[in-house]
Amino acid sequence: MNDSKKNVIIIGGLGNGSVIAAAIRDANRRGYNEWQAVGYLNDRIIKGDSIEGLPVLGSLDDIQYFTCKGYYFIYTIYRIDGQNYRIELFKRLNIPEEQLAVFIHPAAYIADNVHIGFGTVVMPNVSISPGTTIGKCCLIMVNATIGHNNKIGAHCHFAAQSCLGAYLNIGDGVHIGLNATVRENLTLGKYSALGMGAVLLNDIKEYEIWAGVPAKFLRNSKREFECLPIDHTSGH
Ligand SMILES: CC(C)(COP(=O)(O)OP(=O)(O)OC[C@H]1O[C@@H](n2cnc3c(N)ncnc32)[C@H](O)[C@@H]1OP(=O)(O)O)[C@@H](O)C(=O)NCCC(=O)NCCS
C-alpha cells in the first residue's frame, strides 16, 4: 500500500483492464500520483496469480471486503453483446459512487466545462471538447476524439481512435468501434454499437449494431437472456 496514492482495483483482466492499469502506471511515471493500480478482481484467474505484473486479489465476491477497506474501483467488463447484462452485474456489486475512480491520463485534453461521471476512464491522447457530459463508468480509449455539447450516458465504450461530432445524444451502454466516426446531431439508443471503421450518418435505435461506410444496420445486439452465463473476465 502506498499512502500518498489512492489504491484502485481493476475489475476485469487482460484487455481493457490491463491497458488501463498500464496507463495508470504510465501516469505515475510522469509524476501524476493520484491513483495506484494495485490489482484485479477476476472470477476466472485464481487469487495470487498475476496479470501483466499485477496480482489478482480475489473474485467479484470480494468486492464488499475491499469496499470496506477503502479501495477504489474501475469496472472494465464490457462487451458489445450483452452490455445490458454487464451493467446489471455492475449494479449488483453495490460499489458506492465515491469509490469509483475517475482516472484521467495526464496526456488527455479535456475542456474546462466538461462533466465526467464517477468511474470513467480517459486514456492518453483523448480529446473532449467543451459542453460535453459523460456518464459514469465510461471507458474512453486512446486517441478517441469527442466533440462539443454531447450528452453521453453511463457505461459507454469508445474504442481507440473513434471520433464523435457534436450535439450527440448517446444512451447508456453504447459501443463505438475502433476508428469509427459519428456525424453531429445524431441519437444513438442504449446498448447500440457501431462497428470498426464505420462512418455513421443516421440515428441508431436501442440494441442496434451498425457498420460500414456509410454505416448500415447489421443486426441487433443480444439481449441478456441470450448471453448467460456471463463471462466476468472479458475486457472486451
Ligand atoms: C460490427 C461488429 C460488432 C460485428 O460483429 P459480428 O456480428 O461478429 O460480425 P461478423 O464478423 O460475423 O460479420 C458479419 C458481416 O458484417 C461484416 N462486418 C463486420 N464488421 C464490420 C465492420 N466493422 N465494417 C463493415 N462490415 C463489417 C462482415 O464482413 C460480415 O459481412 P458478410 O456477412 O457480408 O460476410 C464487429 O465486427 C466490430 O466492428 N466490432 C467492433 C470491434 C472494436 O471496436 N473493438 C474494440 C476493442 S477494445
User: pLDDT 10s per residue in the chain (236 long)?
Assistant: 445 789 999 999 999 999 999 999 999 999 999 999 999 999 999 999 999 999 999 999 999 999 999 999 999 998 888 888 889 999 999 999 999 999 999 999 999 999 999 999 999 999 999 999 999 999 999 999 999 999 999 999 999 999 999 999 999 999 999 999 999 999 999 999 999 999 999 999 999 999 999 999 999 998 765 544 444 444 44
Domain stop point among 77, 94, 123: 77
What is the distance of C-alpha 64 from the center of its chain? Answer: 21
Compute the CA torsion angle 78, 88, 120, 15 (nearest 10 deg): -20
Residues 129 and 70 in one domain: no
Residues 180 and 139 in one domain: yes
Phi, psi of 27 (to 5 degrees): -60, -40
Q: Cα(10)–Cα(54) distance, rounded to whole angstroms?
A: 10
Q: Give the CATH number, domain containing residue 68.
A: 3.40.50.20
Residue 229 lies in a domain: no
Q: Cα(197)–Cα(204) distance, rounded to whole angstroms?
A: 16
Residues 25 and 119 in one domain: no
Nearest alpha carbon, ligand 1 atom 39 = 195
pLDDT at 233: 46
Domain that holds residue 198: 103-220
Q: Cα(78)–Cα(90) distance, rounded to whole angstroms?
A: 10
pLDDT at 175: 97
Task: Dig out the grid coordinates for 17 from the structure.
Answer: 483492464
CA 177 to centroid of ligand 1, rounded, Å: 10
State the CB neighbour count (10 A cutoff) for residue 49.
11
177 close to ligand 1 (CB < 6 Angstrom): yes
Side-chain half-sphere exposure of 176, counting CA atoms within 13 A: 34
Nearest alpha carbon, ligand 1 atom 43 = 177
pTM for the full predicted model: 0.94
CA 194 to centroid of ligand 1, rounded, Å: 9
Phi, psi of 9 (to 5 degrees): -105, 135
Nearest alpha carbon, ligand 1 atom 3 = 195
Write b or e for each residue in 141-167: b if 16 or more Cβ atoms lie within 10 A of its Cβ, otherwise e: bbbbbbbbbbbbbbbbbbbbbbbbbbe
How many structural domains compose the chain?
2
Q: CA-based angle 107:74:109, to the nearest 5?
A: 20
CA 136 to centroid of ligand 1, rounded, Å: 27
Provide the 3-class DSSP secondary structure of residue 127.
strand
pLDDT at 57: 98
